Amino acid sequence: MQKNVSQSVIKRLPRYYRFLIDLEKNGVSRISSGGLAQKMGLTASQIRQDLNCFGGFGQQGYGYNVPELSSEIAEILGINRRVGAIIIGAGNLGRAISTHMSFEKLGFNLIGIFDKKEAITGQMVNGLPVRNISGLDEFCRSYKPKVAVLCIPQNQAEKTIKQLLKLGIKGFWNFSHYDFNEKFSDVPVENVHLSDSLMTFCYKIKENAEKN
């Protein structure tokens, strides 16, 4: 069924999902590749190609059933699960991520938050106590989280990553400036480089200003 799926396709899946859920909420039960293409600013061809990487979800002469398709994509993404996750770093960013994200709706179960600062140990964040990083080993042996969200400074990243890998962590949602590429190129990582995004934004603004 599943052909070789390119990174480009995978990156588009969450967006498809978002639009389909939105349609579903608005009571739309049926949509054609052309209709969805228009809404999303893509070509109908691309949508059909993308979806056909995973199977024939449509019907000739009819289009796609919205709830069916959205649930297929949820399945493909694997978000109907509850993979155990911990956040490392309970600074501004770590705390915001923990309260702002719907981990449970997106495939994860947030079970712990850690920081090295003694002062904030015990503080409650989104119903979870901030634990001291010194208890990380024991916690992992007991609760076996599978992934970690890195909200720590770059200079602490490498040491922490090594420790987490030893403790059975299988992937990283990386908000730090650390680049896994150099030393851990085979570990599954999804990077969120906010600084890069802000710089790209800066470029876009500048370009647009010069254009007009």
Task: Note whether 6 binds DNA by CB under 7 A.
Answer: yes
In the list 35, 63, 84, 107, the residue contacting its own copies (rule: CB under 8 A) is 107
Instruction: Compute the least distance from the CB of residue 60 to its own copies, in Å.
Output: 28
- Which CB, 16 or 114, lies closer to DNA? 16
User: How many binding residues for DNA (CB under 7 A)?
Assistant: 25
Distance CA 161, CA 135 (A): 16
Show the DSSP H helices in 59-193 as ranges.
Answer: 66-77, 92-100, 136-143, 154-166, 180-183
Six-digit token pair at 197?
A: 């995004």
Instruction: Compute the least distance from the CB of residue 138 to its own copies, in Å.
Output: 24
H-helix or E-strand spanning residue 69: helix 66-77
What distance lies between CA 192 and its chain's CA centroid? Answer: 9
- Which CB, 137 or 207, lies closer to its own copies? 207
Six-digit token pair at 194?
A: 């906010």
H-helix or E-strand spanning residue 149: strand 147-150
- Which CB, 27 or 41, lies closer to DNA? 41
Considering Cα of 48, then 53, then 58, then 64, what sign does the dihedral take? negative
Of these partners, DNA, its own copies, none, which one is at the site of residue 21 (CB under 5 to 8 Å by kind)?
none
In the list 2, 7, 185, 212, the residue contacting DNA (rule: CB under 7 A) is 7
Task: Note whether 170 binds its own copies by CB under 8 A.
Answer: yes
Site string for DNA, 9-48 (x = CB under 7 A): x----------------------xxx-------xxxxx-x
Express the helix, strand and coil content of the chain in percent, nearest 5 each.
Answer: 50, 20, 30
Q: For the chain, how big is the Rg over CA atoms in Å?
A: 20
In the list 13, 20, 23, 51, the residue contacting DNA (rule: CB under 7 A) is 51
Of these partners, its own copies, DNA, none, which one is at the site of residue 201 (CB under 5 to 8 Å by kind)?
its own copies
